[in-house]
Chains A and B, each alone.
Chain A
Amino acid sequence: MKLRWSNIVPHVILSVFSLCILLPLIWVLRVSLTDKLTAYKIPPEIGHLGLENYVEIFSTYPFERWFLNSLVVALAATAISLPLATAMAYAFARFNTGGAFLRLGVLASQMLPPIILVLPLFTLFFSTGLMQTHMGLILSHLTISLPFLSWMLVSFFEGDSASLEEAARIDGATRWQAFIKIAVPVAAPGILAAGLLGFILSWNEFLFALVLSGASSQTLPIGLASMETHAGVEIAPLAAATVVSLLPIFALLPFLRKYLIKGLSLGALK
């Protein structure tokens, strides 16, 4: 290959860009492995590296509880929304149920800023005793995952299995059987990927948890935010907690690669 400017320039720019993204993440990892004093040294020293901060977040902070709360709330919200959204998306895609009006309604629900919902939910939860409970938090997360999944899944049902379903119907299958035995299995990879994205949306949610959760139902983002204010400037354990909180997302990323574009563009691009 000939070495030419037009070949090198993009690589130089892309490398610089990649470093801008990557270096902060590497630095967080490095801070999480140093001891507390070294973490503050300016100019920075590498010093001793170890896992003490990771032990500390579990022993000094209720990190385990935050993590479990996040997991329970995100899993429950996703598990409730996924079947509901699958059924509605199928109705939208196959029978055009509700037409443009309902579709627009679902998209609008998804675009709704959480601050608009958190005020009425706050007063409603107070009068119904759902305040500070896991149940309340799960309900509030449904406002994010249910519209997102309903909207996303429509495009997974458009096209693919319609002719298969029709053949099954001619052979005497009911509409429900055509849905559950053909449409759902064909769309299963997409449904699962959408479910993972829905899980991540819930995992990252902050405002509902901030206003509606209590000490026992606090999720990870709230816990992390409180770590910073309580411990003043203890950045080493905070960095360790950050790394652990990122792990589930990075672990799920490879499974999402194929569906990421669809997920980010809300189904508009493939």
Chain B
Amino acid sequence: MIGISGTGANAADRRDRRFGYAMATPSLLVLFLIILFPVISALFTSLHDYTLIAPNFDTFTGLTNFKLALGDAEFRHSAWLTLRFVIGVVALEFLIGFAVALMLNKVERFKPIYYAILLCPLLMNPVIVGLIWRMFLHPNLGIVNYLLSTIGIDPVNWLGDTKIAIWTVILVDIWHQVSFMIVLLLAGLSSLPKEPYEAARVDGANAFQCFIHITLPMMRTVIVVTLLIRLIFAVKTYDLIYIMTRGGPGTATDFVSYFIYRTAFVSLNVGEASAMSIILLTAILGLTVYLYRYMRSIN
């Protein structure tokens, strides 16, 4: 940092490096103990026939648990459901969020009020979100079906119908998380430079052309980062399912996180559940590497 002669700079550099590692070590030790070690232990467990009935590592089974997991129709079903859910919520939240962000970026009046309101669900506990919507969506006693009946729509079995349940969960997730998209996309929009728009207007471009040719290209990295973060968090969705449907009706909303939970704590097969969680981990790591590269390109 502040060396004067050549050798002095080297010594200072070395001491800088040592100081850096000394500062990072306590945190790294804790991260190793509570994250890396458990992940390695999950990997170890996934290679053994480990159940909660016989919790020991006596039988090494190699990749059998992975084969069982990948061959398990229920696991594949839950992976497919999770994929549908994730694409559904990310796409819909993005479309609604972008539309609202564009409008918020346009208006001046009442903007602080709109903004304050949309922040409300953002940091709410998913358990609370699930509980209040369960209450609203109750088939006979819920307010939603009552309101629908006043405009002549028959009661809907929101959480009890195998075809509707996943859409209900998606709608509730949108209510909870759409503000995430709005806040980040609005931050991106409000930091765009004004000049390209003025130049385009002089050239006679309309609002739609401006959006396609100026806004979208300039927003690209912000959009990608926002989508990726939301996507990774959506894959983790667990609380909402546990509270609202417990994976049901049947297995209509049995997303991966919940299915792994069931395999470990209901079927008591921790070995196979660990194999599934390692498969999930691989997918998340892939997405995270992609996100990391994009985050670097923003700064």
Contact = CB atoms under 8 A, between A and B. Distances in A.
B63 interface: no
Interface string A80-112: 000011011011101111101011111111011
A104 B24 contact: no
Given A14-B100, A142-B34, A270 B187 contact: yes
Interface string A105-133: 11111011111111111111010000000
A63 interface: no
B183 A260 contact: yes
A170 B125 contact: no
A129 to B, nearest CB: 15
Interface in B102-119: 103-104, 106-107, 109-110, 113-114, 117-119
A181 interface: no
B253 interface: no
Query: Most A CB atoms within 10 A — which of B19, B235, B264, B274?
Result: B19
Interface string B16-36: 110111011011101100110
A246 interface: yes
Q: How large is the interface on B (under 10, 10 to 19, 20 to 34, 35 or more residues)?
A: 35 or more
Given A42-B141, A44-B143, A249-B123, A124 B41 contact: yes
Contact of B239 (A95, A126, A206, A242): A206
Contact of A119 (B45, B128, B131, B285): B45
A215 interface: no
A98 B28 CA distance: 11
Contacts of A206: 125-127, 238-239, 242
Contacts of B60: none
Contacts of A104: 288-289, 292
B125 A221 contact: yes
A253 B119 contact: yes
Q: How large is the interface on A (under 10, 10 to 19, 20 to 34, 35 or more residues)?
A: 35 or more
A235 interface: yes
B239 A207 contact: yes
A106 B39 contact: no
A227 B181 CA distance: 32
B38 A117 contact: yes
B243 interface: yes
Interface stretch (B68-76, B156-164, B192-200, B221-229): B221-229
Given A88-B23, A246-B128, A265-B229, A204 B123 contact: yes
B55 A143 contact: no
B123 A200 contact: yes
Interface string B250-288: 000000110011001100001001100110110011011
Contacts of B120: 21-22, 25, 250
B239 A107 contact: no
A143 B281 CA distance: 15
8 A-B pairs closest in CB distance = A95-B20, A97-B20, A120-B38, A88-B27, A91-B23, A10-B103, A91-B20, A221-B127
Given A112-B284, A170-B2, 20 more contacts: A13-B103, A18-B113, A21-B179, A28-B135, A88-B23, A91-B23, A97-B20, A123-B55, A147-B35, A179-B23, A203-B125, A206-B125, A206-B127, A207-B257, A210-B242, A233-B138, A242-B132, A246-B124, A268-B294, A268-B295
